[in-house]
Amino acid sequence: MTSFTLTLNITPQQVLRWLLACIVFLVAASVVADIITAQHPSKSLSKLFGLDEEGSIPTYFASLILLLSAGLLLLIGREKRRRQDAYSRYWYNLALFFLLLSIDEMVSIHEYFTYYLHTHLGGHGASQTSWAIVGMVVVAGVGLLYLRFLLALSSPTRVRMLVAGAVYVLGALGFEYLGGRIINASSDQSLLYQLCYTVEESLEMLGVYLFIRMLLLYMAQELHAAQAPALSPPAGSLDAPRCAAAL
């Protein structure tokens, strides 16, 4: 009996390049699908590539990168706990939060809350704006709970995390609120609303991409700098400083 070994040598910068390329492609495909659908009334392309459609390729991708973020956070949390770091639970809680975001992206749990608001406020646009306001309050609360954790991070990591979070929240809540106002003024079929949700979903994916980049840099520059055996690169691969410089 013969056996063989398959070795994959994938660097962090390769992962980031592929993720960014996928985001650009999916946004472009969604725009093209919207243009074609506007000229030829058919929902097939929109359901396949629509950024605002449940079960579309962009939706699966968005869920996947959120799940990837949760996995990286879990790895960091485990390493922090191994070192008996006082902030390990914060990393674990973030991992759980991103796991829930990934699940919500797939099954749209927040839509049930939006539907509840819709039935009580009497309008889809009103429910969207109300959901965005509630979300902003939740974000502010989480920010206060994590203030100590953020201050304990190094300045570069803290800035990267805040920028990634700001981009994501701007899309998920800022443009969600704007979309609700547009629906109130016109409809969810207007060109302005389509532009709004395209920017919304694009910013969400970009925010998660920046967050993944921050996590990879943190693992390469700070965890590896402390000589963490569990996260040290294998023999023959790019060393952490070189990987970090290329990110």
| pLDDT, tens digit (0-9, with 9 covering 90-100), for 70-89 | 999 999 999 999 999 999 99
Strands (E), 7-46: none
Q: Is it the case that residue 243 has pLDDT exceeding 60?
A: no
Span 121-150, average pLDDT: 76
List, as one string, the DSSP characters of 50-80.
Answer: -TTSTTSHHHHHHHHHHHHHHHHHHHHHHHH
Span 138-151, average pLDDT: 93
Taking residue 121's Cβ as centre, other Cβ atoms within 10 Å add up to 14
Rounded to the nearest 10 degrees, what angle do helices 57-82 and 88-107 cross at? Answer: 170
Percent over 90 (pLDDT), the chain:
47
Q: How confident is the model at residue 234 (pLDDT cuts 50, 70, 90)?
A: very low
Q: Which residue has the higher pLDDT, 186 or 213?
A: 213
Q: Is it the case that residue 175 has pLDDT exceeding 70?
A: yes
Most confident of 28-37, 79-88, 180-189: 79-88
Length of the chain, please?
247
